[in-house]
Amino acid sequence: MLKKITMTCVTIILMFIFLLIPSSSLARPIPKGKLESTREMRAVWIASVYNLDWPSKKGLPVKEQKQEFIHLLDEIKAMNMNAVIMQIKPTADAFYPSAYGPWSEYLTGTQGKDPGYDPLEFMIDEAHKRGLEFHAWFNPYRITMNHTDLSRLSADHPARKHPDWTIAYGNQLYFNPGIPEAQDFIVGGIEEVVKNYDIDAVHMDDYFYPNKIAGVPFPDQETYETYGKKAFTHIEDWRRDNVNHLVEQINDTVKKVKPYVKFGISPFGVWRNIKDDPTGSNTTAGMTNYDDLYADTREWIQQHNIDYVTPQIYWSIGFQAAAYDVLTKWWSNEVKGKPVHLYIGQATYKINQNSDPAWSDPEEYFRQIELNRQSQLVQGSMHFSLKDLNRNPLNIKNRLIDDAYRKPALIPEMPWLHQKAPKKPIIQSIKKTADGASLQIKNDRHSTAVYYAVYRLTTKGSYELLQTVRKETGTLTSVKHLSAHQNKIDTYKVTALNRLHHESKPATKRVN
């Protein structure tokens, strides 16, 4: 009897210990034959304003511009990223021939001067060659960066043709968000790109109504009285409605032209502080989307006017005024049950150069990424910006390559953007080479495949994702430099993915 009681106690104790162990710590064998891959957005912003990331300076010869961009993409691919967010309209201008804005000065040094090629077409082609999604980044309202003089704009600038659409605040010019014709013009400029270019997403960041200047009200009282006073008692509510309407218009237009093109926004990291709204985040940020930028991000999520939201949570874990962990949880609750992906904007630019000592801790960035991964609702990261990753502060870039992003990842699916998975691909041939293995996939022109994913059988019996490639033009897509065991049979599986990353059943091939 005593022995039985003792055994029962031991069993209870062991069960208690088992329950205390986090599920992630328990060894879970992967079923044999399973395709083992991660779904995670890994994107990086490439800013063109002030030549922050690319081109490195104004007026570079075309050949050098192209070489620079190709090098940047190769760096991105080496980090196992899977998307780029390229700023193509930084100041009501364009990195492509446009009816809605002049050529950008950040290309040639002179606004309106033709660079001699189509940079947007080139950038999209090169990104797609490397299997990277291309998110076209627009700044909707901003016209100038450091002056308010219309005469300094190029002769063909739309702001000079429609000066009544513009509004000056601080030392910058903007399209007035309250003028319906200006809103329609902004939407038309985005529609032009969606129609003419093979982009994967339309992207906007946190620039809506400009940051408030202390003691200087935004000068739109007359616009409010003309367009908003009858419907809105408070000018602030009218401003928010202007932005809401723009966001809704953009989404509707994008989906009407190409239903598969995503629309995402990367807002400031705080919607509202809890002191101003009991449903806001437990933060004390000096600025918020809702109260200062008139960007009601919650509304966009609830109305499904965006496909993804990437709050710029540019603070450290535990930071008193606005903690990374607190805000990540708050945004997770906002998207829960909604057809909207949540990615987190990561402040690479702060690493080892910020007054908050946490940013001098080499583990802070990776704690943030791990925190993202622990949430079922956070589906990846967007890093600001590329030049900050490439300067490799605290060895961050190398550690991404060697650890956090060591293995490639598929981009998360968006089930609400309906597309059936492609049919199973056909592996035409496979052979061992001096540097691993190479295979050829037969391209079916009737298939919806845009990407292929290649897996290899591991000693555990599962299949590990080795590489993703963009489907090539022509009859075959070649995949080279695959890891392989020499003098041993290897088994590979290949799946096809459409442009929204729905994955087919695998084709299998063995090779000696």
283-340 pLDDT per residue, tens: 999 999 999 999 999 999 999 999 999 999 999 999 999 999 999 999 999 999 999 9
Average pLDDT over residues 47-71: 98
pLDDT in tens, 91-123: 999 999 999 999 999 999 999 999 999 999 999
C-alpha gyration radius of the chain:
25
Average pLDDT over residues 139-167: 97
Q: What is the pLDDT of residue 256?
A: 98
Between residues 33 and 130, which one has the greater pLDDT? Answer: 130
Instruction: List the structure tokens of 53.
Output: 């990331």
In the chain, % helix, strand, coil (3-state, to 5) comes to 35, 20, 45
- Name the 3-class secondary structure at 383: strand
* Percent of the chain surpassing pLDDT 90: 93
Lookup result for tokens 């299998």: 508
DSSP code string of 265-288: E--BS-S-BTTT-TTSBS---S--
Average pLDDT over residues 455-468: 96
pLDDT at 5 over 50: no
Q: How far is CA 423 from CA 71, 173, 462, 473, in A?
A: 34, 51, 22, 18
What does the alpha-carbon distance between residue 81 and residue 409 come to, in Å, rounded to a whole number? Answer: 8
Q: Does residue 206 contact residue 300 with C-beta atoms inside 8 Å?
A: no
- Angle between helix 180-196 and 235-257 (nearest 10): 20
Q: What is the pLDDT of residue 486?
A: 86
DSSP code string of 122-191: HHHHHHHHTT-EEEEEE-SSB--SS---GGGS-TT-HHHH-GGGEEEETTEEEE-TT-HHHHHHHHHHHH
Mean pLDDT of the chain: 94
pLDDT at 147 over 80: yes
β-strands 262-265, 201-204 pairing: parallel
Largest CA distance in the chain: 97
pLDDT at 29 over 60: no
pLDDT in tens, 185-241: 999 999 999 999 999 999 999 999 999 999 999 999 999 999 999 999 999 999 999
The residue extents of the domains of the chain are: 38-410, 419-511
Q: Does residue 472 contact residue 434 with C-beta atoms inside 8 Å?
A: no
Q: What is 38-410's CATH superfamily?
A: Glycosidases (3.20.20.80)
- Angle between helix 119-129 and 62-78 (nearest 10): 30
23 falls in which pLDDT band (50, 70, 90)?
A: very low
Q: What is the pLDDT of residue 6?
A: 42
Task: Tell me, rounded to whole angstroms, the distance of Cα 38 from its chain centroid.
Answer: 17
The reply to whether domains 38-410 and 419-511 share a CATH topology is: no
- Name the 3-class secondary structure at 220: coil
Q: Give the lowest-confidence range in 28-32, 40-44, 331-335.
A: 28-32
- Name the 3-class secondary structure at 486: coil
What does the alpha-carbon distance between residue 512 and residue 159 come to, in Å, rounded to a whole number? Answer: 65
Signed CA dihedral, 396, 401, 405, 409: sign only: positive
* Residue 487 backbone class (left: φ over 0; alpha: ψ -120 to 50; beta: rest): left
Contacts made by residues 294-297, CB under 8 angstroms, sequence distance 24+: 294/177, 294/208, 294/209, 294/236, 294/239, 294/240, 294/242, 294/243, 295/206, 295/208, 295/209, 295/240, 295/243, 295/267, 295/268, 296/240, 296/243, 296/244, 296/271, 297/265, 297/267, 297/271, 297/334
* Percent of the chain surpassing pLDDT 70: 94
Instruction: List the structure tokens of 508.
Output: 């299998």
Q: What is 419-511's CATH superfamily?
A: Immunoglobulins (2.60.40.10)
Amino acid letter, residue 26: L
Residue 165: closest CA among 97, 274, 238, 92: 92
